[in-house]
Amino acid sequence: MKKVCGFAPASIGNFCVGFDVLGLALESIGDKVEVSLNGTDTNRITQIVNGENLPMSIDKNCCSVVIRKMQEALGNFRGLDIRIHKGFESGSGLGSSSASSAAAAFTYNEFLGKSFSDNELVAFAAEGERLASGTAHADNVAPALLGGLVLVRDNNPIDIIRLPIPKGLFVVILFPKIVVNTKDSRSVMQQNISLQTATNQWANMGALVASLYQNDLSLLSRAMVDEVAEPARALLIPKFEEIKAAAKQNDAISFGISGSGPSVFALTDNITQAKKIQEAMKQVFYNTSIDTMSLIESLANNKGARLVDTF
Catalytic residues: 129, 182
Residue 21 one-letter amino acid? V
> Cβ atoms within 10 A of the Cβ of 193, count?
15
Rama region for 192: left / alpha / beta (φ>0; ψ in -120 to 50; rest): beta
Residues 6+ apart with CB under 8 A from 11: 23, 24, 25, 26, 94, 95, 98, 99, 140, 143, 144, 259
Alpha helices in 75-192 (DSSP H): 96-112, 118-133, 141-146, 182-187
User: What SS3 state is found at 288?
Assistant: coil
How far apart (Å, rounded) are the C-alpha atoms in residues 281 and 250?
10
How far apart (Å, rounded) are the C-alpha atoms in residues 49 and 38?
20
Beta bridge mates, 163: 149
Do 243 and 93 contact (CB within 8 A), yes or no? no
Do 254 and 221 contact (CB within 8 A), yes or no? yes
How far apart (Å, rounded) are the C-alpha atoms in residues 269 and 210?
18
Q: Is 55 exposed, middle or buried (0-12, 13-18, 19+ CB in 10 A)?
A: middle
The dihedral built from the CA positions of residue 187, 191, 194 and 197, taken in this order, carries a sign that is: positive
